[in-house]
Structure 1
Amino acid sequence: MLQIILNNKIRLAQFLFFVGLLVLIRAFEDQLFYDPFLDYFKYNFANLSLPIFNPFQLFFGLLFRFTLNTILSLGIIYVLFKDIQMVKFALVLYYFFFMILIVTFFFIIYYVKGHNNLVLFYVRRFLIQPIFVLLFVPAFYYQKQK
């Protein structure tokens, strides 16, 4: 019984550690990543033109942030489920969705030209925030129960 309680404390500490790192990424996003859209979306962006940006720096900044969020999210999934196959599957899903989202993001920037800023906002939100972990954890929990 003591071992079960100790293991759950360790798992809780690991979980909180990964969540804390996700919070730190969010807290220091201005210093860590190149993203001129951070300031753009803080204001009334519906009436503003898109900011000037370097597409290569923006791509690699988004990739770096997405990768950090993915690694920490996979850590959370592993801590919660202790299933390496689930983590591998989640990794494939993460990068499948990354490819779709990054293409959509740049398509909106270059071909829609600011007419759908709200769609751009939400696509970017999926790229920079660990939203997928909020979707995957309940789905994997449900799958594990069946």
Structure 2
Amino acid sequence: MNKWLRLGVIGVLVFLLIMVRSLGDRMFYDPFIDYFRNDYLYVDIPGFKFLKLFYHLMLRYLANTLISLAIIYFAFQKKSLVIFSMKFYAIAFVILSIIYYFLLRNGMENGYLFTFYVRRFLIHPVFILVLLPAFYYQEKLVKTKKFSG
């Protein structure tokens, strides 16, 4: 695929991530948006429905993940990196969801900050910011070893 076309597709995909982020308040059920934005120090935890919350959390994570996987594919055009990333995202979702569930179930007894950051990893495409540079570095390292040895 042409380099400029790939960059254009990646640009569109980044725009889609921005759209998921900006429209997330309206598209997904999350009673903690306003809580963590303003009132977390003064107000009790808002009421919420576990199943509905985790269903929408999964949908948002899935949307961000699919877009992120497409970015990885168009950036490197290697299915092996996409497969690794799929496994990484799946494992991360399971682990973070379990942690988030127990934090909410216990009413954030250990403080709101840890819950806030676990939630952030689940609803925002943070992992792409780690995976892209890691894959780029790995690719450069492999090319350097080919030429030097």
Q: State the TM-score, normalized to the length of structure 2.
A: 0.90
Cα deviation, residue 131, structure 1:
0.2
Is it true that 1:27 corresponds to 2:30 in the alignment? no
- Cα distance per residue 1:13-57 (max 9 Å; x no partner): 101010000111111112210111111111041232111000000
What are the ranges of 5 or more consecutive residues in structure 2 without an aligned counterpart? 142-149
Cα deviation, residue 112, structure 1:
5.1
Deviates more, 1:99-108 or 1:45-54: 45-54
- Map residues 103-122 of structure 1 onto 2, 5 A cutoff: 103-111=98-106, 113-122=108-117
Cα deviation, residue 99, structure 1:
0.6
- Map residues 9-48 of structure 1 onto 2, 5 A cutoff: 9-48=4-43
Aligned match of 2:86 in 77, 81, 91? 91
Q: How many angstroms apart in 2 are the aligned matches of 1:29 and 1:113?
A: 23
Partner letter of residue 57 of structure 1? K
Deviates more, 1:62-71 or 1:105-114: 105-114
Equivalent residue number for residue 80 of structure 1: 75
Is it true that 1:61 corresponds to 2:56 in the alignment? yes
Equivalent residue number for residue 44 of structure 2: 49
Cα deviation, residue 143, structure 1:
1.5
Equivalent position SS for 1:113: coil
Equivalent position SS for 1:47: coil
Q: How many angstroms apart in 2 are the aligned matches of 1:50 and 1:7?
A: 51
Q: State the TM-score, normalized to the length of structure 1.
A: 0.92
Q: How many angstroms apart in 2 are the aligned matches of 1:60 and 1:84?
A: 29
The count of residues paired between Structure 1 and Structure 2 equals 141
Q: How many angstroms apart in 1 are the aligned matches of 2:22 and 2:108?
A: 30
Equivalent residue number for residue 123 of structure 1: 118
Equivalent residue number for residue 100 of structure 1: 95
What are the ranges of 5 or more consecutive residues in structure 1 without an aligned counterpart? 1-5
Structure 1 moving runs of 4+ over 6 Å: none
CA RMSD of aligned residues (A): 1.3
Q: How many angstroms apart in 1 are the aligned matches of 2:117 and 2:3?
A: 36
Asked if the contact 1:49–1:114 (Cα under 8 Å) also holds between the matched residues in 2, the reply is no
Cα deviation, residue 107, structure 1:
0.8
